[in-house]
Structure 1
Amino acid sequence: MAILVTGGAGYIGAHVVRALERAGLDSVVVDDLSSGHRDFVRPEVPFIDLSILDTKGLVEQLSRHRIDAVIHLAGFKYAGVSVERPVHTWQQNVGGTLSLLEAMAELGIGAIVFSSSAAVYGTTDIDLVTEDTPTGPESPYGESKLVGEWMIRDQAVATGLRHTSLRYFNVVGSGEPDLYDSSPHNLFPLVIRALSRGERPRINGTDYPTPDGTCVRDYVHVADLAEAHVTAVRRLLDGDELEPVYNLGSGDGVSVRQIMQAVATATGVDFEPEEADRRPGDPARIVASGERATRDLDWKMRHTLDDMVASAWRARPGDATA
């Protein structure tokens, strides 16, 4: 039995591969390294340098490695940039998922866990987002993730494909000393890079209607997220019925200022963050419930905010710029 992990050389994907290994499950990674890192994948794990847009290549490789199920994380993940590059975003995310589903259908591979996004909800004034909260994506990235869910759902109706989609917000921390978030846009790596360069991290907006005036967001540890993906794929392989979507939420948000304070504590660097104006479109609070995932996927917040920050700091690359 082997599980294909698309995007398995990326920050989240590499953690999923390590979690599969701990669970005693064999994995195969396909990644075109457009944002992933080859050294995130251990030598003993089969690695395929391939774009998932290459349907013919996917069919050949999935057949060669006798794939039984797929965890699909590959995609263009930058919501803000997707507004500037909508065609590229749709091509990579919608086209890539379509190509993957075509290859799976040709080979009769009957189970998929889709890494979706809480970006499908858009801006909402609901205190706690659930799976029943209406979707309203506000970027091509969020739209592409929602369309991906729809395509998988429709394929399931047509072929009996077993599936579930996992929606989550901000993934942080590190579960392995050699795996780190190299995103040029995410808060944690931005703060770490700034401190490593002797600069002051920035808070965008301090006048929101929140307890300390800064945005409140849902942060989850990457290792906890990876375990949920593994539980989901195992249940699908066992023939269990899962909900079509799950929120992997904390149920309790953290403010940007709280993160800055936790970073100062974890790093021992005493700093006062730079304060800037709000960014357009940033809602005051977005937090999701994870109750449904707790019920079906053993979803738990096993790491505290201090754990998240400390692990991210320990795993930072040497120059904090990679």
Structure 2
Amino acid sequence: MKHTILVTGGAGFIGSRLVRMLSENGFQVVVIDNLTSNLPFVQLPNVTNYNLDVRDATALDEIIGAYKPYCVVHLAAIHHVPTCEIERNYALEVNVIGTENLLLSIEKHQVSKLVFASTGAVYSPDFPILNEDETPVDPFDNYSLSKFTNEKQIRFYQQRTEADVCIARLFNTIGANDPNAHLIPDILRQIDPEVSHAIVKLGNIKSRRDYIHVEDTANLLMLMATSAPRKGLKVYNVCTSVEYSVEEIVQKIGVLMNKPISIEIDPEKIRKYDRISQIGNNQKVLTEFNTHLFFTIEDALKDILAKMYDFQT
């Protein structure tokens, strides 16, 4: 058996895929998750699961001390943007205090490597293509503020410990069985597969985003977690370097489902503060880990539809 890797948020949308990949590659995996995503733990022989909130510093430290993992992948967070705006204290407690609890424990137990899931939303919205080493960061909402704060916390931790740290700035990750109220689940929940012409109610339909399939996101996180040790702090965009508007996503879904889909603007779904564009440069992560992406946007949408509606092309 290879090194032990601990994954916070390991029962979540991205985390569950990552845990399976690590398990299939022979790693002992310890999962910490409070199951608020309503997804089940991954049940595999070399996966050990704990129902735990990262705000519980004592219990968190006990588990890290017991297993002394080689690497921690920190995915646990409140990342649904409307929730972060409505329940601001809750989001900051989980994202900021929970992260500090983790950092204190992994420093105490001398964990060798940390992979942290940040977000492309930390970048300033005033730049066309977002680059890890050039584009300034400028939090835009409560969610990106919490992740920006996390990045600062982690930089301080890395300076104290000289650990091997990867900050993964995740862009819009999509895939089947997303339990969160993100764009594509919202669209598909509104479409009756039996009707010939669907109508969906949406908010900011001109916004353009860089959508990456969850399997590609999990694969890049696994490569960061299992790569050869290299002290220092590295920042990577996890994205496709292609962006699409909400209107274009709806159109692509309509083509794949072979039915017209009309959009109605719902004022209650319009975000007051919304970036018009968010596209990242992914060459750094693909080059340094000598890899490639496996899903185009069409591949990703086909996969989602196949698993949601048993859709065949």
TM-score (norm 1): 0.86
Q: Post-superposition shift, 1:163? A: 0.4
Q: Post-superposition shift, 1:275? A: 4.2
Task: Map 1:108-187 to 2 at 5 A.
Answer: 108-122=110-124, 124-131=125-132, 132-174=134-176, 180-184=177-181, 186-187=182-183
Separation (CA, whole Å) in 2 of partners of 1:317 and 1:55: 42
SS in 1 for 2:262: coil
Structure 1, residues 158-204: CA drift from partner, whole Å, max 9, x if none? 11221010002210124xxxxx10112x1110011111486622343
Separation (CA, whole Å) in 2 of partners of 1:231 and 1:271: 38
Q: Post-superposition shift, 1:91? A: 0.6
Seq. identity, %? 27
Q: Post-superposition shift, 1:279? A: 3.9
Match of 1:239 among 229, 232, 239: 229
Corresponding position: 1:194 with 2:195: no
Corresponding position: 1:98 with 2:93: no
Distance 1:71 1:271, change over 3 A: same
Task: Map 1:246-261 to 2 at 5 A.
Answer: 246-261=236-251
Which residue identity lines up with residue 190 of structure 1 in the other structure? Answer: D
Q: Post-superposition shift, 1:61? A: 1.6
Match of 2:295 among 283, 296, 303: 303
Match of 1:284 among 264, 276, 284: 276
SS in 1 for 2:254: helix
Separation (CA, whole Å) in 2 of partners of 1:43 and 1:317: 27
Structure 1, residues 278-304: CA drift from partner, whole Å, max 9, x if none? 642223222111111122134533211
Separation (CA, whole Å) in 2 of partners of 1:283 and 1:104: 35
The structure where strand makes up a greater share of residues is 2
TM-score (norm 2): 0.89
The answer on whether the counterparts of 1:249 and 1:289 sit within 8 Å (CA) in structure 2 is yes
Which residue identity lines up with residue 193 of structure 1 in the other structure? Answer: R
Separation (CA, whole Å) in 2 of partners of 1:25 and 1:317: 33
The answer on whether the counterparts of 1:267 and 1:310 sit within 8 Å (CA) in structure 2 is no
Counterpart in the other structure of 1:266: 256
What is the RMSD computed on CA atoms of the aligned residues?
2.2
Q: Post-superposition shift, 1:205? A: 4.7
Separation (CA, whole Å) in 1 of partners of 2:156 and 2:309: 42
Q: Which runs of 5+ in 2 are unaligned?
A: none
Corresponding position: 1:61 with 2:63: yes
Q: Which runs of 5+ in 1 are unaligned?
A: 175-179, 207-213
Aligned length: 301
